[in-house]
Amino acid sequence: MPDDLAMSPSPPRAGAARGGEENAVRRTRRLPRGSRRAKGLLYVLPALAVYVGFAIWPALSTLRLSFLEWDGILPPVWAAFENYVEIFQDPALYEAILHSLILIIFFSFVPVVIGLLMTALLLGRVRTGMTFFRVVFFLPQVLPLVAVGVTWRWLYAENGVINQFLEVIGLGGITRAWLGDYHLALVALGLIGTWTMSGLCMMLFLAGAQKIDTSLYEAAIIDGAGPFQQFRHVTLPGVRREITIAAVITTIAALASFDLVFVTTNGGPAGQTNVPALLVYRLAFNEGNIGSASALAVVLTVIVIGFVSAIRYFAREDR
Amino acid sequence: MRPRAGSKIGGVSVRYAVLVILALMVLLPFVSIILAALHAPGSQISGLSIPDQWSWQNFTLAWEQGNFTNLMRSSMIIAFGVVPLAVLLATLAAYGLSILKVWGNRVLSLGFVLGLTLPVELVVVALYFNLREVGLTNSYIGIILAEAALFLPFGVYWMQAHFSSMPEELVEAARIDGARDMMVLVRVLLPISWPAITTLSVLYFMWSWNQFLLVLVMMQDPDRRTAPAGLGLFVGQYSTDIPLLAAASVIVIAPIVIVYLTFQRSFVNGITQGAVKG
Amino acid sequence: MRKTAPFRRPGALLALGTTAALALAACAGGSGGGETNQSDNDVSTTITDEPVTLTLSYTNEPPTEDLIDGFTEHHPNVTIDAQQTPFNDYVKSIKLAMSSDDPPDIAQYNPGAMNTLVPAGLILDLGPWAEAYGWSEKFPAASLEVLSSDESAQQFGTGNLYAAPGALSVLGVFYNTSILDDAGVDGAPATLEEFEEAMRQVQDSGTDPLSVGGLEVGGFHIWNALLNVLGDVEDYRAWVYGEDGATIENDGAAEATDTLIEWVDEGYIPSSANATADSDAQANFANGESAFLITGNWAAADLESEMGEDVGFFLMPTASGEPATVASGASVAYAISSKTEHPNVAAAFLDYLSSEEAAQIQFEGGFMPINTEAELGAEGVRAEIADSFATVVENDGIVPFPDFASPGMIDKLTPGVQGLISETMTRDEFLRSLQESWDEHHAG
């Protein structure tokens, strides 16, 4: 679910969970009576049933399917780890994973940098039009990625806007059908991700920056810090949490991207933009290779969880 | 200090210049498709170009050829099924977890939160075959329940964060007055929770509207797919007719853009506070 | 036990489970014995007068809807609810729909999907109806052969009949007559060399020789058309049908691939091809931006309406100049679900496809008709197609498209040819990748 994970704030960090414990300790005296705690189950159960039935159970089933060889119709055959072995032997499959790692640069790293730039520009002295810029920058994030893909597919076309622009600025020599270029298609795809994700990063950073104690800025000014130093020494440390969060959300979006690729290149040219999600879909529903599809989905999930944990870990160690 | 005063003015205009350039880059694709959609149907367009004569016909054509009457209807059915259901379930669950502190509430909360990192790809393969067993593929109910399940982790987490921020005395006072649990929720907590619920609803609406993979897999009936899913497949058939395709894209993004502009504040709150409260 | 039951049924669904088990038992009886027991006795060529509603899933339009209208006009008590799915979604969609509890009665045939549906017993064996109606007389032999397979759907061209064709198509080359005139090319080329010469002349005159939809299937259609005239038809057929030991790593395929690579080097195939969808390529050609387009005759109706008399058609010319006797073609064919309650009505629809009236509908939709004797009054580009097609049919030279060979083949063909076009894949790598997919599918 590239969309909603992209949009959804990250899970509370381990630190928050610890905070919760402290609260719990503080509140022990006021814990509701036992009967009330039991009745609480009635409130939680409906959500739990839907969540377990339609998310957790299928996720576990996918895990189970990853050990089978199954075409979706005939009886499945036990395959042990064969499907996993295949992922690391089939170039098409592991290259897809590599591609999604490259996309992290464009979906996550670059947008964080641009988001910081936008934040720096919008902070402080820009009063007029602040809301306008915020609303505009964030706009790409609310669109269905399918529509974004359709639009960009045309912008990137041989007679599209990008090439028109390049010709105007005298770079007519490098025009091409960008999404069909063997070496540049993945980059072109990644830049669409940059376009959609930068506003999200900005929105997070702005929210973080607005909570920074203004006295810190005043102190910095007294120390003779210019706008750049202020940003570097006050704002940047102030939005570190938000940077972590932005990195997590956008990394998940990069790794799990499907919609954009499906409507723009469908993995082409020559598999240069294959990503795991696309192959999961193709293997499962076009080629009837449910086992491999499931194994790839599991590997993708492990990578996602690995990255999310890594980002968290590094973000907290610096602290 | 004095030289800096001068650079301040220069600084502001540079800032605006960069901001305007960035804004243009963000808006360029929108401008291109809107301009493209206003060209005469079937005309060849290269790059950005102002149409010779403004033509609104593409919207009618795209609406008819893209089957948007049906697509919009099912998008609405799904969104208006998912949003109330998921908001209701999330609110009840959060109330049970945060206020009533049901046994095992911490484990349960963690379980919900875990769902935030599950990619839909992991769920969708088996979900299809699970639902096929019980006859819920190709049905609105199957999609609504599946989307609700995928959106619940965020909702439970969001409403929990919201309820935890409420002063405890509020609940205590109501209880001393003898109010039952349901009454506490309905009479005391809900009336002051509308901003949080609105935000959650708006986000849910957007996610549901934009969901693609799940609908592509679960819904075989082309008449009951959602607008984005329809657009994703419409591309293949009409990729040549740029004005038509651009019009179809505008049709698909218009509702969500309108919702965004209307509830802009809720979006911002949802994204920023949702992330930061944690 | 776990291996045989994909999912354990939650207890709450016990009731549903029982019904499903009954349904399973019913269709297991059908698939196990090869034929559906209950309908064995009542195979009939006359259909009921009671009101009947059938559902039909398809992707090709034309000709499907007009054929349905034609049929229901003869049988007003029959209603056919038709549901179209775009081609890029059809394989998945039909596979999922046909294996559901409530499948469509009739589905447009697709080899990729049949690979799993036929072994699962979800597709009705049409043998009894073929006999009752005498289809072997009514349909061209090659067109039925392609739709026959063994029960495991591993080998085609043999075994039971699982679908009947509703329109035929053939792969060839469309050309823009006025662009050729301007470039000084004298009509349709007769040999492969002349064709290459014509492309060179067009290129020299400053126009693109070819429009290629490399993003989708357009790229491998060129390869396929070359293979038709450069390869050995028996080798190819053995490979596509899945005969033991067949391989695509042969001299003919190597030559076809080399030729395609040469065309890339010469710039006949534009570098932008990999970002061009099939419909884009067709539109470019129709707008006079290129001289040739290699695709199937399904494009004929559209091209004719846009280009009028400017468009012509020839089959990929042979090296020797002999008229081509082999061409890839597919049929828009229809299969019947083994779960249908009205197999006789559905079969009557299939039989209608071979009628003279249907021939007219098929031809008007830009296809080659099933009934080759029907009077069509063909003229223009479609007459040219019909003429070339007649030669091929006489020689029994219609062969399936290469994506027929295995379910994953299309996902090797499109990226493979993209690799050739972007000059990042060698001939041998390309052919190897195809054969790997074939080996994988036919290993079991």
Could you state, in order of their start, the residue ranges of all structural domains in chain C? 40-169+330-374, 171-328+387-442
C424 burial type by CB count under 10 A (0-12 exposed, 13-18 middle, 19+ buried): middle
Asked if the Cβ–Cβ distance from C97 to B240 is below 8 Å, we say no
pLDDT of residue C168: 86
Nearest CA in chain B to C282: B240
pLDDT of residue A32: 65
Q: Comparing C-alpha atoms, which of A217, A219, A216 is closest to residue A227?
A: A217
The chains in contact with chain A, meaning 3 or more Cβ pairs closer than 8 Å, are B, C
B272 burial type by CB count under 10 A (0-12 exposed, 13-18 middle, 19+ buried): buried
Q: Comparing C-alpha atoms, which of C78, C85, C39 is closest to residue C64?
A: C85
CB of C137 closer than 8 Å to CB of C333: no
| Residues A261-313: tens digit of each pLDDT | 999 988 878 889 999 999 999 898 888 889 999 999 999 999 999 999 999 88
Helix and strand numbers, DSSP H then E, in chain B: 13, 0
- Cα–Cα distance, C97 to C93 (Å, whole number): 6
**Phi and psi dihedrals of C329, rounded to 5?**
-150, 160
Q: Is the pLDDT confidence value at A138 over 80?
A: yes
DSSP type of residue C337: B
Nearest CA in chain A to C31: A74
pLDDT of residue C369: 83
The number of beta carbons lying within 10 Å of the beta carbon of residue C118 is 25
Asked if the Cβ–Cβ distance from A157 to C275 is below 8 Å, we say yes
Does ipTM exceed 0.85? yes
Written as one string, the DSSP assignment of C204-254 is HTTSEEEE--TTTTHHHHHHHHHHHHHS-HHHHHHHHHT-TT--S-SHHHH
Residue A38 lies inside a defined structural domain of this protein = no
pLDDT of residue C381: 85
Paired with A260 in beta bridges are: none
Asked if the Cβ–Cβ distance from B235 to A150 is below 8 Å, we say yes
Q: Comparing C-alpha atoms, which of C336, C362, C332 is closest to residue C347?
A: C336
For C40-169+330-374, which CATH class? alpha beta
Residues of chain B contacting residue C99, judged by C-beta atoms under 8 Å apart:
132
pLDDT of residue A314: 85
Q: Is the pLDDT confidence value at B232 over 80?
A: yes
For A76, the closest of C3, C274, C416 (CB atoms) is C3
pLDDT of residue C359: 87
pLDDT of residue C27: 38
Compute the C-alpha angle C354/C358/C359, nearest 5°: 80
For residue C145 the two structure tokens come to 């052969």
Q: Which amino acid is located at C372 in the chain?
A: T
Residue A145 lies inside a defined structural domain of this protein = yes
Contacts of C279 (CB under 8 A, 6+ apart): B236, B237, B238, B239, B240, C213
User: B239 falls in which pLDDT band (50, 70, 90)?
Assistant: low
Considering all CA atoms of chain A, what is the largest pairwise distance in Å, rounded to the nearest integer?
76
For B23, the closest of A133, A152, A300 (CB atoms) is A133
Question: Which of A254-263, B243-252, C31-40 comes out lowest in average pLDDT?
Answer: C31-40
Instruction: Write out the H or E segment, with its range, that includes residue C385.
Output: helix C381-394
Residue A163 lies inside a defined structural domain of this protein = yes
Q: How many residues does chain A have?
A: 319
- Cα–Cα distance, A170 to C144 (Å, whole number): 58
Average pLDDT over residues A94-111: 95
Q: Which amino acid is located at B93 in the chain?
A: A
Question: Interface of chain C against chain B, CB under 8 Å?
Answer: 6-7, 9, 13, 16, 20, 83-89, 92-93, 96-97, 99-102, 216, 277, 279-280, 282-283, 287
Contacts of B66 (CB under 8 A, 6+ apart): B230, B231, B234, B248, B251
For C273, the closest of A70, A180, A288 (CB atoms) is A180
Residues of chain A contacting residue C116, judged by C-beta atoms under 8 Å apart:
71-74, 288
- Identify the structural domains of chain B with CATH numbers, from first to last: 2-59 (no CATH), 67-277 (1.10.3720.10)
C179 burial type by CB count under 10 A (0-12 exposed, 13-18 middle, 19+ buried): buried
Segments in chain C below pLDDT 70: 1-41, 88, 444
Residue A40 lies inside a defined structural domain of this protein = no
Average pLDDT over residues A177-188: 92
pLDDT of residue B184: 87
User: A125 falls in which pLDDT band (50, 70, 90)?
Assistant: low
**Phi and psi dihedrals of A70, rounded to 5?**
-150, 140
pLDDT of residue C17: 36
DSSP type of residue A32: P
Q: Looking at residue A158, which CATH number applies to its domain?
A: 1.10.3720.10
Q: Which amino acid is located at C108 in the chain?
A: Q
Question: Which of A173-182, B228-237, B241-250 comes out lowest in average pLDDT?
Answer: B228-237
Residue C149 DSSP SS3: strand
pLDDT of residue C200: 95
Q: Comparing C-alpha atoms, which of B67, B76, B61, B26 is closest to residue B246?
A: B61
Written as one string, the DSSP assignment of B189-251 is IGGGTHHHHHHHHHHHHHHHHH--HHHHHH---GGGS-HHHHHHHHHHHHTT-HHHHHHHHHH
B50 burial type by CB count under 10 A (0-12 exposed, 13-18 middle, 19+ buried): exposed
pLDDT of residue A46: 95
Question: Interface of chain B against chain C, CB under 8 Å?
Answer: 44, 126, 128-130, 132-135, 137-138, 216-217, 220-223, 233-234, 236-241
Question: Interface of chain C against chain A, CB under 8 Å?
Answer: 2-4, 6-7, 88, 91-92, 95-96, 99, 112, 115-117, 119-120, 122, 214-216, 271-276, 407-408, 411, 414-416, 418-419, 421-425
Residue C290 DSSP SS3: strand
Asked if the Cβ–Cβ distance from C411 to A287 is below 8 Å, we say yes
Paired with C79 in beta bridges are: C53
Is A113's Cβ below 8 Å from some Cβ in B?
A: no
Asked if the Cβ–Cβ distance from A289 to C408 is below 8 Å, we say yes
Could you say which architecture CATH assigns to the domain C171-328+387-442?
Answer: 3-Layer(aba) Sandwich (3.40)
Asked if the Cβ–Cβ distance from B240 to C277 is below 8 Å, we say yes
Which residue in the block uniquely carries the two structure tokens 């998945």?
A: C92
Residues of chain A contacting residue C415, judged by C-beta atoms under 8 Å apart:
267-271
Residue A49 lies inside a defined structural domain of this protein = no
pLDDT of residue C158: 85
Which residue in the block uniquely carries the two structure tokens 């940059």?
A: A194
pLDDT of residue B238: 63
Residue A58 lies inside a defined structural domain of this protein = no
Asked if the Cβ–Cβ distance from A155 to B92 is below 8 Å, we say no
Domain count for chain A: 1
User: Strands C398-399 and C52-58: what pairing?
Assistant: unpaired
pLDDT of residue A279: 94
Asked if the Cβ–Cβ distance from C85 to B135 is below 8 Å, we say no
Q: Is the pLDDT confidence value at A27 over 60?
A: no
Nearest CA in chain B to C90: B220
Nearest CA in chain B to A295: B122
| Residues A197-243: tens digit of each pLDDT | 999 999 889 888 888 888 888 888 888 888 888 888 888 888 888 89
Q: What is the mean pLDDT of chain A?
A: 85
Q: What is the mean pLDDT of chain B?
A: 86
DSSP type of residue A275: -
C15 burial type by CB count under 10 A (0-12 exposed, 13-18 middle, 19+ buried): exposed
User: Strands C327-328 and C398-399: what pairing?
Assistant: parallel
Contacts of C408 (CB under 8 A, 6+ apart): A286, A287, A289, C437, C440, C441
Query: What range defines the domain where residue A27 resides?
Result: 2-31+66-317
Asked if the Cβ–Cβ distance from B129 to C20 is below 8 Å, we say no
Q: Is the pLDDT confidence value at A25 over 50?
A: no
Nearest CA in chain A to C413: A270
Q: Is the pLDDT confidence value at A128 over 50?
A: yes
